[in-house]
Amino acid sequence: MTGPVIAGAPGPGALALGRWTADTLGVPLIVAVVHPAPAALGSGRVDAEWVADRHRAAQRVLDEARDTLGDTAEYRTVASSSAAHGLHDLAEETKAVLVVVGSGQEGLGSTAERLLAGSGCPVAVVPGDLVEAPGGLGLIGVAYVDTPDGRAALEQAARLATGAGARLRLYTVVSEGSTPLPFLHDAERVFLETARETYEHSLAAAAASVPGVEADWRIISGEVVETLAGLDEVDVLFCGSRGYGPARRVLLGGVSARLLRTARRPVVVVPRSG
């Protein structure tokens, strides 16, 4: 039995992407709202009343989600010290295949950042202004480099593309400063041309390695984060996490952290496969 997709409500974008992904992968959807757990050392009645009020507020959020999704999901409230901890614990308990959260009204938001710092499963972050489910363009993107992290992102993206009947496109962004210029010495020019040939070879091999999925690739010149964040031709963009740290954990590097704050489309950060 494959684990569920967890949509961390609130947010119409997280609900829409969560339902679409669960349907595509053929797995259950759990909509979860985290509320504060009673403090070990609290102020008695005041503390208990505040916790009860937060629980009622979480239940109202779930009721709104149920109005949107109906009986297509399971609905849970989770008591925890923080939203990130609650979603993390639920993901581990259920062996979730994906956790989906919204970026919120204030940028990425502390919940998404804390959840991403060490999650054992892929985490999707949906831009706050995105409310519709993907699928219209049928194109899933992968920010690809030929490393264990890049290959892990490709593997997860291919699984979603297979279920959705979508196309797959791999992107490698080459810094504008790496573009050969007329005044470069011959040795520098050869080095840069060789590097581009290496990118082309690894991209072609990676695209060909995905069975049953129509896949192509692009090499784009530009600033890495800005270029990836501006990709509005894709429904979802997959990227790997930092290439070191605990196995099977998401560790945000500089590129992925900045990308999550500026991307126009949902970004799925995949744990390293180590």
pLDDT in tens, 71-86: 999 999 998 888 888 8
**Predicted confidence band of residue 116 (pLDDT cuts 50, 70, 90):** confident
What proportions of the chain, in percent to the nearest 5, are helix, strand and coil? 45, 20, 35
Burial class (CB in 10 A: 0-12, 13-18, 19+), 187: exposed
Find the helix or strand (DSSP H, E) in which 74 lies. Answer: strand 74-80
**Predicted confidence band of residue 38 (pLDDT cuts 50, 70, 90):** low
Comparing CA positions, the residue from 113, 158, 157, 162 lying closest to residue 261 is 113
Q: What domains appear along the chain, each with residue ranges and CATH number?
A: 5-126 (3.40.50.620), 139-270 (3.40.50.620)
Beta bridge partners of 35: 79
pTM exceeds 0.85: no
pLDDT of 248: 47
Residues 6+ apart with CB under 8 A from 156: 122, 238, 268, 270
Q: Which two tokens stand for residue 67?
A: 């109005």
pLDDT of 105: 42
**Predicted confidence band of residue 106 (pLDDT cuts 50, 70, 90):** very low
> How does pLDDT run across 156-196, given as a tens digit for each residue?
999 999 998 999 999 998 876 544 445 445 555 555 566 77
Phi, then psi, of 99 in degrees rounded to 5: -115, 130
- 11 to each of 5, 14, 184, how far by Cα in Å? 15, 5, 51
